[in-house]
Chains A and B, each alone.
Chain A
Amino acid sequence: MTASTPIVEAQGLTKRFGKVEALAGLDLVAESGQVLAVLGPNGAGKTTFVRTIATLLRPDAGSLRVGGVDVAEHPDAVRRMIGLAGQYAAVEEAMTGRENLKMVARLFGHSRRSAAANAAAVLAQLGLTEAGDRLVRTYSGGMRRRLDLGASLVGSPKLLLLDEPSTGLDPRSRIELWDAIKSLVAQGTDVLLTTQYLDEADQLAQQVVIVDHGRVIAQGTPSELKGRAGRDVIEISARDRQDLPRLAEVLAPLGAESPRVDANTRRVTVPVDGGTAAIPEAIRMLDQTDLVIDDIALRRPTLDEVFLTLTGRDTSTDDDNAQQAA
C-alpha cells in the first residue's frame, strides 16, 4: 500500500433490502490522513455503508476497497485494518472496562501480556484509567461510548469507523467524545464517521460527503460546502404564525434570494449580501408595518442549509418520513 492509496474507495456500491435501495450506486474516495464525515438524514444509507466497509454486509453490486484491499475478496485482511464503533456501546456490562479491552485485544491476536499493556494504554488515552477496574454496568452513557471507542482501538486500526458516535449523548459527553476522537486523529488514525449532526461533521472532519437516498450528492471541505449555500442569512422569529407570509413579503426586497419560511419554528430566513448592514435595514422595513417579531439575527449559513439547497428538503422533515417508513 503506497501513501497515495485511498483508505476507502467505493464505486457504484449498491445494496438493496427488499424494495428499499439503501445504497444506490455510491461513489466515494477517502484519502488517507484525514477525517471523512458521511453526513445525511436518517435512512440515507450511512449505516449500510459503514456496515459494508466493516464486512458485516455484502454489497449487491459495485466495488469497495479499504487501503487498496478488495472487501469482497479479502474480508479478513480488511478486518485486520479496521476498528468499528457502532451506534450502540457494544461493550459487556458485566465486565470491567479493562476486561472488555483485553478481550478484544486477545481476539486481535495479542498475547496476554501485550493485551494487558494495550488495554492500559487505551484506558489512559480515553481518560478511563480510574474507572478501568469497575464493571461497565456502573459507567455513564458517555463513558460507555468512550470505552466502545477504545475497544475499536486496541487492534491499532488503520481506519476507524464511527457510526453516529455521539447519538444519544448529552452535550458534555459529546464534547468529551469529540476531544477523544480529535486526539486519535492527531496521532494519524484515519477516521470515517457518519453523522446526522451537521455541527459534528463541522467539528471533526476535513472532508464531508453528503449522502441522500444511497448516493453522494455533494463532497467538499466544510467551508466549501458552506460556500455552496452561499450567503449569510438574516433569521427572524415571528410572534404570530399567520404573520409569516407577510413578513416574507415585506423582507423580500432585502434578500439576494427569495426568503424561506419555516412554519414549525415560526421563522423567516432571508439570504443577504450586505452583512451586518442588512440588519438595520430589515428593522427599518419592519418598522413601517405592524408586524411583531421576537428575534432577529444575522448568521453564517449552516450545513443544514447546504442540505436544503442541495436537496430542496429539510433534514428534519426527512427524519419524519424515515420514521414513518420504519
Chain B
Amino acid sequence: MSATTVDMTEFELTDFNGDHDFDSDIHIVAPQGSAGFVATMLSVAGRTLRKFVRSPQLIVLGTVQGAMFLLIFRYVFGGNMQPGEVPYVDLLVPGFVVGSVLFGGMMTAAGVAEDMEQGFFDRLRSLPVSRTALVAGRAVADTGVLAWTLAVTAGVGFLVGFRIHGSPTEALAAFGLCLIFGFAFVWLFVVMGLVAGTAQGAQGMSMLVFPLTFVSSAYVPVGSMPGWMQPIANNQPVTAMVNAVRSLVLGDPSLAGLSRSTGHYVVVALAWSLGLVLVFAPIAVARYRRS
C-alpha cells in the first residue's frame, strides 16, 4: 500500500491546505456537480492556447509561414503589379491578412482531427460537461491563435512598406473584422477536422478552401480574371471580407477600385460571417456530439 500512503513532504510542496486527516489514505475529493458552460469553454480553450505557445512547430507554422508568403507576394509577384492610386503593397497586405485566416484554418482542422485520433475527445466527451461548450472552447482558442498570427502578418506588412490611409480607429475595426471572419471560418475547419478524422486527411481537406483565397480580390484585381470567373470571385466570402477590410484601412473604398460605401462592404462581410457560423457551427456541434 505504499503507493497510497500520504507522504507529508509531498503535500507541503503543493498548495494543498485543506483540513483533511493526513493519517488516512489520500483522499480524492468528489466534485460537486460539474463545470458550467463558460468554465468548460475556458478550460479547453486554455489547453489549446498552451499547446500553441509551447509547441515550436505550431508557432513556426502559425507565425513564420504567413510572414514568409507575404514577403514572396510582396517582392516576387508584387514587382509586376501596377495598380491605380495606391502602391500594390497597400492593397496586398489587407488582402493577404484576410487570406491568412483560411491558411490558419489548416491548423484548426489538423488539431481537431488529431484530438479525435488520439482519444482526447473521448476523454472530454466522457465528462459530465456540455459538449457544445467543448467545441466552442476550441473555436474561441483558435480565434485567439489567429489574432496572434494576423497581428504578426500585419506587423510584417508594415515592415515591407504597408501604410494605412484611413484613421487608426478604422484600422482597428478592420482587424476586429478579420477576427470575426476568423471565428466564422473556424467552424468550417472544425467540421473538416471531425469529418476527416486524421490529421493528414484534415490538412488535405482544408486545401480545398485555398481556391477561395486565390479566386478572390485578395491578391489580384477581380477585373484581371477571365470573364466566367469574375462572378465567382465577386460573390464569395473572401472577396466580401477583403473589400470591407481594404475600404477601412484605405479610408476610402474608391482607392481600392470599389464603387460602394465602406458601410456597405462591412455589412456584406458581417452577413457572410454570420452565415458561415449559422451553417457550420450547428454541423460541428452535431458532429462532435455523436462522432
Contact = CB atoms under 8 A, between A and B. Distances in A.
Contact of B122 (A90, A114, A117): A90
B127 to A, nearest CB: 5
Nearest to B15: A116
Most buried by B among A54, A106, A180: A106
Interface residues of B, number: 45
A110 interface: yes
Contact of A86 (B4, B6, B54, B123): B123
Given A86-B122, A117-B18, A92 B51 contact: yes
Interface stretch (A148-156, A230-238, A240-248): A148-156
B148 interface: no
A174 to B, nearest CB: 16
A55 interface: yes
Nearest to A58: B290
A90 B43 contact: no
B14 interface: yes
A156 B30 contact: yes
Contact of B31 (A94, A108, A187): A108
Interface stretch (A120-128, A250-258, A291-299, A315-323): A120-128
B126 A187 contact: no
B10 A129 contact: yes
B122 A92 contact: no
A183 B127 contact: no
A152 B119 CA distance: 13
B26 A125 contact: yes
Interface stretch (B34-42, B255-263, B264-272): B34-42
B76 interface: no
A14 interface: no
Most buried by A among B29, B31, B32, B290: B31
Contacts of B128: 76-77, 79-80, 108-109
Contact of A107 (B10, B28, B43, B55): B43
A183 B28 CA distance: 14
Contacts of A263: none
B16 interface: yes
A88 B290 CA distance: 20
A179 B28 contact: no
B124 interface: yes
A79 B26 contact: no
B232 to A, nearest CB: 38
B55 A187 contact: no
B120 interface: yes
Given A80-B34, A122-B28, A179-B3, 10 more contacts: A77-B128, A93-B51, A103-B43, A108-B127, A109-B32, A109-B33, A121-B28, A125-B26, A154-B28, A155-B31
Interface of A: 51, 54-56, 58, 76-77, 79-80, 82-84, 86-95, 99, 103-110, 113-114, 116-118, 120-122, 124-127, 129, 135, 151-156, 179-180, 183, 186-187
